[in-house]
Amino acid sequence: MLSLVCLNFNYNKEMILNQDYLSNTAVSQSRLKKILQHPNLYFNYDPKSDTEEPADVTLIGDGVDLIITQGEEVFQEEFLISTVERPTAQMGDFVWNLFINRHDSNAEQIAYETVGFKRDTLPKVRERFEKEGKAYYDHLIEADGRKVISPAQLATIYNLVESLKNHPFSSKFILGNDQYKIFTQQALTFEYLGFECKALLDLVVVDVDNKFLYPIDLKTTTTSLNYWTETLMKYRYDLQGAFYTEALKQTDTSIYGEGLTVKNFRFLVESQKFPGSPLIYELSDEAMTLGKEGGVYQGKTYEGFHQALERLRWHIDSDLWNYTREDYQNNGIRIV
């Protein structure tokens, strides 16, 4: 049975900025997971053209991650603190779609149709925009690619960072000591089943006394941490952990110290709604196997990154992306 071990748990900060990571065409775990949903999602995946407005949880999590792993200065460069509130309901969606399509001559029409106004005509929406949305639109333009957050979101980010820095379970990860040394933002590449793969680890922790090497990822959540195992499986963080651990195992770990043993993956998790109580979730051997080789958990069958790469190889070789491998092999017939 898949299990998670909840631990208490330390950092010698080494700032490494990996601006070339996203431009690397190697396979990432975030893209690879798409092929387990549908091959077309993998084929059309492009993080640079992602046009979905970031959810609060994502914005806040990114801010916390950035401050802890790269510092306050980088955070200030990447985020803009807005005093202009986002318009509510459909007008807010209209402003966002107008913004992301601003270089298209039909941006207004695209935004209008995307939002799907039922009562208001485009001229009416245009009139409302001048009163309700233009200030926020101008602020998005001013942001110039930076992520826009409100003062309330900024306060949440700082509260979470302070919690992680000061709580006895997590502070040693952030502040460090003689036993634990931490390397941040480690960009690694490795080969698996003939594919060049890449991984960006938030933290690599060296336990100097015990000669252990811990790969760790920072997570924030809007739920109670008592329910985070459900979140882990929903977003397949088991696959992420196994993928990142494989990357570290294939790395020359002597750059972190001599004679080190790579341990199972860990997630340092803090709740956005209930800050002040971070936990460390360590993937058990069963969870690591599930993430890599697949298996059954609570009656449901999951594929690991090994199977995902096998699927990717089949779709690349056949150049077929509109259906799953099984749908093609079974001529579109599914037995129910």
Q: What is the pLDDT of residues 222-279, one digit of tens each?
A: 888 999 999 999 999 999 999 999 999 999 999 999 999 999 999 999 999 889 999 9
Q: Residue 19: what pLDDT?
A: 58
Q: Is the pLDDT of residue 129 over 60?
A: yes
Q: Residue 12: what pLDDT?
A: 37
Closest CA to 189 of 33, 47, 306, 27: 27
Q: Residue 176: what pLDDT?
A: 83
Q: What is the pLDDT of residues 21-73, one digit of tens each?
A: 767 889 999 999 999 999 999 999 877 555 555 677 888 999 999 999 999 99
Q: Is the pLDDT of residue 14 over 50?
A: no
CA dist 169 and 13 (Å) reads 18
Q: Residue 50: what pLDDT?
A: 54
Please report which helix (H) or strand (E) contains residue 332, including its range. none
Please report which helix (H) or strand (E) contains residue 11, including its range. none
Q: Residue 173: what pLDDT?
A: 82
Are 173 and 280 in the same domain?
yes
Are 94 and 33 in the same domain?
no
Supply the range of the domain harboring residue 119: 83-149
Pick the range with the lowest mean pLDDT from 37-41, 81-85, 205-209.
81-85
Q: In this predicted model, which residue has the larger pLDDT, 13 or 319?
A: 319
Q: What is the average per-residue pLDDT within 283-290? A: 98
Q: Residue 226: what pLDDT?
A: 92
Please report which helix (H) or strand (E) contains residue 269, including its range. strand 266-271
* pLDDT bucket at 89, cuts 50 / 70 / 90: confident
Are 179 and 308 in the same domain?
yes
DSSP one-letter string for 108-159:
HHHHHHHHT-SS--HHHHHHHIIIIIHHHHHHHHHHTTSEEE-HHHHHHHHH
User: CB neighbours (10 Å) of residue 176?
Assistant: 16
Q: Residue 46: what pLDDT?
A: 75
**Percent of the chain whose predicted confidence (pLDDT) is above 90:** 77
User: CB neighbours (10 Å) of residue 69?
Assistant: 23
Q: Residue 199 to residues 22, 165, 215: CA-CA distances in angstroms?
A: 10, 25, 11
Are 201 and 266 in the same domain?
yes
Closest CA to 278 of 153, 201, 168: 168
What tokens does 197 get? 């793969």
φ/ψ of 285, rounded to 5, equals -60, -40
Are 138 and 246 in the same domain?
no
Does 41 map to a domain? yes
When the pLDDT of each residue in the chain is averaged and rounded to a whole number, the result is: 90
CA dist 136 and 196 (Å) reads 42
What tokens does 40 get? 């077309």
Are 263 and 201 in the same domain?
yes
Does 197 map to a domain? yes
Does 73 map to a domain? no
Are 187 and 292 in the same domain?
yes
Closest CA to 66 of 148, 151, 143, 157: 157
> Structural domain tally of the chain?
2
Rounded to 5 degrees, what angle do the CA atoms 83, 87, 90 make? 160
Are 219 and 301 in the same domain?
yes
Q: Residue 105: what pLDDT?
A: 94
Pick the range with the lowest mean pLDDT from 7-16, 158-167, 198-207, 226-235.
7-16
Does 304 map to a domain? yes
